[in-house]
Chains A and B, each alone.
Chain A
């Protein structure tokens, strides 16, 4: 059983469309990160959210942390082919002080021109 469930697992859309990726858990996380990973490379940190209800914006990307700190979402407006990649949510469990990250299984996004 995955501690962090991401949905959808695969998403193929046309350039200009909007999309939302979800990251859900039954556990409380003290912080949650979103990463983007390209084939053959390591994950690149996009954002960290730590406060329940927090919303952060990064250009066309909007990240939200749920009020109870059990879920998060990533919304992309007007997707571009350069947004193609694997999007990973990862978090630190509320009870942990090791800094160990728990990852979701990822969402593969393909944006067609």
Chain B
């Protein structure tokens, strides 16, 4: 059973550096979501894709953030010129568009620490 996978699991970077995270969804899932979670809070929506199309972006997603899903399979989230406020857990989830229930399955997350 291959669930959602994320790489890397942990990333420590210096302020001002660029970082890129990868998410591999469950293979038959056509929707892919990115969320950000800070300590003691629930996840907050960042963006989502249906197949390769990015259909919604949160206001939380500043112009330093960019996400892609080029072939409708894996996705990448890049943060340019990282700031200390970017430190958080970045979670990826996937779901299958069909029926009335949009159950999302999450990966283990990438913990980003900006020093």
Contacts and interface: CB of A to CB of B under 8 A. Distances in A.
B16 to A, nearest CB: 26
Counting contact residues on chain B (CB < 8 A from A), the size range is 20 to 34
A104 B40 CA distance: 11
B26 interface: no
Interface of B: 4, 6, 31, 33, 35, 40-45, 48, 55-56, 91, 93, 95, 97, 100-109, 111
Q: Report the 5 A-B pairs with minimum CB-CB distance, sorted nearest first.
A: A103-B42, A42-B106, A99-B102, A42-B109, A43-B106
26 contacts: A6-B42, A30-B100, A33-B104, A35-B106, A42-B4, A42-B6, A42-B106, A43-B43, A45-B103, A45-B104, A45-B105, A50-B100, A88-B43, A98-B48, A99-B31, A99-B48, A99-B95, A99-B102, A100-B33, A100-B45, A100-B48, A101-B45, A105-B41, A105-B42, A106-B40, A106-B42
Given A99-B48, A103-B35, 5 more contacts: A42-B4, A42-B6, A42-B107, A101-B35, A101-B93
